[in-house]
Chains A and B, each alone.
Chain A
Amino acid sequence: MIARIFPHPLLSVVLAVVWLALVNKVTPGNVLLGAILGVLVPLVTAPYWPRRARIGHPVKVAEYILIVLWDIVVANVQVAAIILFKRNRNIRSHWIAVPLELTSPEAITVLAGTITMTPGTVSAMLSADSGSILVHCLDTDDPEAVRDQIKTRYERRLKEIFQ
């Protein structure tokens, strides 16, 4: 019964919270409207969520978010330094193929987004069987190290969160 009203409890909570943040005022009416949205939207969109993503321990999720936020700041400074202080012909860009151990589409999406936001790398493509991801690296002397960093720093943590 409860599972029928809330097919996706986490999505319901997120929708209600985002609604409250959008109106920026916590009043009973807004809470009620947020709750209604939180119930209706997951019900209507349930056919588009054939598989439920399992999210691991909240502490792990928080740890991952903090690490990524910190890396984004570092990435900004690094990329800014490359843009400002390196001559174009000294910038060595590489393609890197990163084999994936992650299998769930949600986890791969998060990983691809993380790669794009963090130091000097943009995720460009998946292989046809989504078994590896193609990454463009702005400037590196050691493509192997970049690949290993992606695998140990992000993929390992995502594996703990999603699997």
Chain B
Amino acid sequence: MDLVSDILISFFLVIAGIFGLVGSFGMLKLTETLQRLHAPTKATTLGVGGVLIASMLYFLLEKGSFSFHELLITLFLFLTAPISAHFVAKTFMQANTRQDDLPATGRDYGWSIYEDPPSRSDEE
């Protein structure tokens, strides 16, 4: 039983290590900023997720107690990762892309960093 749980925990740790490594490698390998943004938002999620699953299994199988902290870390990670990615993307685009580079919005108004939102009174 101990061996099985050890193998299971190691398995998740190895998976996590591989994805963490690939995510970091992606940051180096890809050339455009917006492409590089994809590496940390995705590959790293599974990297951190693997470590957290391994940690939960460790406490559950070896220590016999259930730990909620990992679930919270996962929750906070999923809440914060897209937001920071969004900030990076917007900051980069504000300095480096022009409206002509982007596809049309298909609406009456342009993309939000180039145009002000319609005022409330227009909406209602």
A→B interface (CB under 8 Å): 18, 20-22, 24, 72-73, 75-76, 79-80, 83-84, 88, 91, 93, 95-97, 99, 112-113, 116-117, 120, 122-132, 134, 136, 138
Contact = CB atoms under 8 A, between A and B. Distances in A.
Contact of A80 (B22, B110, B113): B22
B109 A129 contact: yes
A72 B46 CA distance: 8
Interface of B: 18-19, 22-23, 25-26, 29-32, 34-35, 37-39, 41-43, 45-46, 49, 67-69, 71-72, 78-79, 81-83, 85-86, 89-90, 93, 101-118
State the majority secondary structure of interface residues on A.
Answer: mixed
Contacts of B85: 116, 122
A124 B30 contact: no
A72 B49 CA distance: 10
A83 B43 contact: yes
A125 B34 contact: no
Nearest to B108: A129
Contacts of A75: 42
A132 B30 contact: no
Given A79-B43, A127-B107, A129-B109, A88 B31 contact: yes
A121 B37 CA distance: 10
Contacts of B102: 95, 97, 134
B86 A24 contact: no
A7 B121 CA distance: 28
Contacts of A84: 22, 25
A125 B78 contact: no
A73 to B, nearest CB: 6
Contacts of B29: 83, 88
Given A73-B46, A76-B45, A125-B93, A93 B34 contact: yes
Given A83-B43, A97-B106, A125-B89, A76 B82 contact: no
Nearest to A100: B107
B5 to A, nearest CB: 21
Nearest to A98: B106
Nearest to B114: A128
A122 B34 contact: yes
Nearest to B67: A24
A99 B39 CA distance: 26
Nearest to B46: A76
A96 B112 contact: no
Given A21-B69, A93-B35, A136-B89, A129 B117 contact: yes
